[in-house]
Amino acid sequence: MKTMDTTEILELLDANEDLYIIDVREDDEVAQGMIPGAQHIALGTIPERLNELNASKPYIIVCKAGGRSANACAYLEAQGFDVTNLEGGMLAYDGELEFK
């Protein structure tokens, strides 16, 4: 499984790279702020929402600490997706937040 740390994602965000970020936390966690531009798909809803994802795009998967996103990465990889787990998750992320 590919991983990246929060320093790497902050550099990509600063460079205005086109990033496809999936936040797999629950609604109450997402309400506390998300990485700007992230799409919220709670971990338990991924199988039924696969049609919202594009298998030709690389996704960065994030959760609170990195465990649930690792589970999501394992599942999505098995479905043929190119995914990277954000190590440390939102606990390690100290960049800007977006509130939805």
**40: number of Cβ within 10 Å:** 17
How far apart CA 37 and CA 98 sit, in angstroms, is 8
Strands 82-86 and 2-4: parallel
How far apart CA 81 and CA 45 sit, in angstroms, is 16
Which of 21, 35, 46, 63 is an active site residue?
Answer: 63
Whether residue 73 lies in the annotated active site: no
Q: Which residues are catalytic?
A: 63
